[in-house]
Amino acid sequence: MNFLPQNMSILIADDLKTNRMLAKKTLSSEGYKIIEATNGIEAVEKARKYQPDLILIDGMMPKMTGFEAISLIKEFDELKEIPILMFTSLDNKKDKIKAFEAGANDYILKPFDEEDLILRVRSFLNMRYLFLENKKARIDTVYNMQNLQSLKDSIENCFNPTGIFFQIKDFERVVYLYGLVGSKIIVKDFTCLVILISPMGIVRDLSPIFDRFSLIF
């Protein structure tokens, strides 16, 4: 995944259509996908449904305020890392503190400066992109480690303690690729080893085992 605006989505929550349209026009011109909400409850619902990359939310809205919506959004594990920008005309220290305490990452006053909004949004989306890339890398690492462990477990389970029985799912393919099976190895069945990593990885992990065969035979 590359950091391209069209890959990033923004949820704009404001009860006034003119405010939503102005923010949408400014940000969609940068290529971002825009999702709209008209109140705090809808903002939470659409945040859960679409899991946007950034949320721009008004402070005072009907049914549920932006402050309440932010607090609720941050309670969901799948949403708590999404950057949220409070987007409001409330210009006092108390409301700013309240917004940050609720979980907002930034505070933008209306009427907003278009260039300022674009730069702030771009900065937070860059951080969001890096977060997602790091998360994906961690998941891939864990997945590869689990696959390697599964392979090692399969290899260990392939040996019968009463004799040397090597069970391989795709026996003929392994023989063709590696030429490792000799006449003194008895094939019990073809159900044990599922190939989970690359051929070179298989060779690397099987080599020590077949080195042991040379000592036995």
Angle between helices 40-50 and 66-73 (to 10 degrees): 30
* pLDDT tens by residue, 43-98: 999 999 999 999 999 999 999 999 999 999 999 999 999 999 998 888 889 999 99
- pTM metric for this prediction: 0.62
> How many residues are present in the chain?
217
Say if strands 33-37 and 54-57 run parallel, antiparallel, or are unpaired: unpaired
* pLDDT tens by residue, 168-191: 444 444 444 444 444 333 344 333
Whether 165 shows a pLDDT value over 50: the answer reads no
For 152, the enclosing helix (H) or strand (E) is helix 114-157
By the 8 A CB rule, do 187 and 171 touch? yes
Backbone phi, psi, residue 82, to 5°? -75, 125
Structural domains of the chain in order of their starting residue, each with its CATH number: 5-138 (3.40.50.2300), 158-216 (no CATH)
What is the Cα–Cα distance from 39 to 182, expressed in whole angstroms? 72
Spatial neighbors of 68 by CB under 8 A, at least 6 apart, are: 40, 102
What is the Cα–Cα distance from 54 to 144, expressed in whole angstroms? 30
Predicted local distance difference test score (pLDDT) of residue 163: 39
What is the Cα–Cα distance from 62 to 205, expressed in whole angstroms? 62
What is the Cα–Cα distance from 80 to 33, expressed in whole angstroms? 20
